[in-house]
Amino acid sequence: MIEVENLTKHYGQHVALDGITFSVGHGEVVGFLGPNGAGKSTTMRILTTFLAATSGSVHIGGKCVFEQPNQVRNLIGYMPENNPLPIDLRVRDYLGFRAQLKHLSKSIARKRVDEVAKQCGISDVANRYIGQLSRGYRQRVGMADALLANPELIILDEPTSGLDPNQTRSVRSLIRKLAGKHTILISSHILSEIEMTCDRVIILHEGKLLASGEMNKLISKSHLAVVTEIRASLIDVKNWASELALENSEFIEQKNGYVRCKFSGTKNNDLREEIFATVNERGWELRELSQHTPSLEDLFVSLTNGKEGNR
Amino acid sequence: MNIFQALIRRELSMFFQGPTGFIIISAVLFLIGLGFLVVLYGLNGEATPMPVTQIFYETYFFWLILLLITPVITMRSFAMERASGTYESLMTAPIGDWQVVLSKFTGALLFYMILWAPLLACSIVVRFYVGESAVLGFGTMFTTSMGILMIGSLYVSIGCFASALTQNQAVAAVSSFAIGAALFFTGFFSYFSGDRTDFFSKLSRHISLSNHMESFTRGILDLGAIIFFLSLTSLFLYLTHKVVESRRWK
């Protein structure tokens, strides 16, 4: 559905995107992840034909974004960052106006406006002015607009920014409902959100692509961590750890003579049995032994850490 | 065509959804009324060798409306959408840049023509009471309207161009006023240059808006003036389109 090759965008001296390559298949739900200023919105603006790139190529549904912008626009439903809406229109009139811009005939437009309003849960405010709506409702109006023409590809730039937890949840469940029928690209700097809604994630940082792939695979590529609490002296525990050749270890002394150890950077095999056996051998008391599957957050931090301040 | 209509309707609705449109209409109504009053006082039983439309046009109220009001009409067209961000959803809808430029221009021009409707009413009142068709023939009224439309399209296109350059409405209004005033006052020099034939005198005579406008108010459809206004309007619309397009330049 989306083919991006070597995409580069300069704003004067500033390099916003630096040779990004990725592709998104039909029906995938892909999360675009990165800290503020990573280039997420710029990429989305180029995909939606709003901006041109400095170099590189972008194809959507086989159509070139730069050569055939109008064919590409027909395939896309887009909600820009901050979801800008005219405040002087009623919800129904706005959606009707947008439907006309998207080449829907009058009768189909009326039907679609009702459908998307229902789908997004804004039927009860359809006759109110957009300026009077709460942020959560406005966000859903923006999403309703993106859905109007039943596009193959839906691009949402930070759909949940500025929403309260309940509103966030309802937007998220809406996105999940859309999955499967449409290809969806969402950007966010909230990791849990991407984790909950997307099959695949693309991580951007300072205009560079750090990682791209299925969420589970990406996470499993990063290292597991084992946490254990043992009653022994700190020196004994350190010696024991170096015997076992455990890497990246952290030790924190606790009350009651316990030492809390965290071993990250271990290989994929499970260390818990070995730890338990050796601790048992020494006759130490053990009150915790657990393995932590890294979250997207860990992955994100490990990928972006130490890259701060390169600007 | 359907899309074009929808876009124009949206442009016009922006004037009437809030107070802006009505404030502009009141201001213009006041100026037209005042101008008309001045004309009537001047006439007051005296015979006049020229059509009433020409007298009205020679009061400065006409130019005041043109120079001051058109920047206010057009300052919102692009600048407001840019500032509020709706520009992005507009430009990523499957419509062409030209459709956007022309609809914004047409919407503003339609609103501008609505502003002049009271002048028509004033003229009809005069005609009714004077009863002499020589003072105000339908022909003169038609050509005067054409003149107002022609000069208006030029100033509206200047305003659209200025508005496309910025996202600040005040900057848009001031710069379109500056361009419009520069054009107007350059033409003013033709009054001083008399019959001189040096390049600058010829130039100022050629771009003198008041000269071009005068023939319209006398009941003449001056082809040269029509071509002058249409070509300058096209030039500014072309420039506006280039500005809109420039976001997609590499």
- Write down the pLDDT at residue A273: 82
Which chain A positions have a beta carbon within 8 Å of B248's beta carbon?
Answer: 49-52, 66, 69
Could you tell me what percent of chain B has a pLDDT over 70?
A: 92
Please check whether residue A66 is in contact with residue A219, taking contact to mean a CB–CB distance below 8 angstroms.
Answer: no
- Compute the average pLDDT of residues B148-157: 94
Structural domain boundaries, residue B134: 2-248
pLDDT band at B239 (very low <50, low <70, confident <90, very high): very high
Mean pLDDT of B202-216: 80
What does the longest C-alpha to C-alpha distance in chain A come to?
A: 80
Mean pLDDT, rounded, for B7-32: 90
Please, what are the averages of pLDDT over each run of 10 residues along chain A (311 residues)?
90 88 89 85 91 90 89 92 89 93 90 92 92 89 92 91 83 85 87 81 86 75 77 85 76 84 69 84 87 71 56 33
Backbone phi and psi for residue A31, each to the nearest 5 degrees, phi listed first: -100, 135
| CB-based contact A54 B250, cutoff 8 Å | yes
Flag whether residue B197 sits within 8 Å of chain A, measured between CB atoms: no
Tell me the C-alpha distance between A41 and A51, whole Å. 11
- Out of A50-54, A239-243, B17-21, B87-91, least confident range: A239-243
pTM attached to this predicted model: 0.84
Q: Are A132 and A151 in contact (CB under 8 A)?
A: no
Flag if A97 and B6 touch (Cβ within 8 Å). Answer: yes
Q: SS3 breakdown of chain B: % helix, strand, coil, rounded to 5?
A: 80, 0, 20
Say which residue, B133 or A196, is predicted with more confidence: A196
Q: What is the DSSP letter of A77?
A: E
Is pLDDT above 70 for B48?
no
Delineate the domains of chain A, giving CATH numbers in brackets: 2-214 (3.40.50.300), 223-293 (3.30.70.1150)
Three-state SS for A245?
coil
Pairwise pLDDT comparison (B42 vs A138), residue with the higher score: A138
The answer on pLDDT for B194 being more than 80 is no
- Taking CB atoms and an 8 Å cutoff, what residues of chain B touch A101? 3, 6-7, 90, 93-95
Q: A95 or B126: whose pLDDT is higher? A: A95
Query: Whole-angstrom Cα distance, residue B92 to residue A70?
Result: 9
Number of domains in chain B: 1
Q: Which pLDDT score, from 0 to 100, does residue A267 have?
A: 58
Closest approach of chain B CAs to the CA of A162, in angstroms? 17
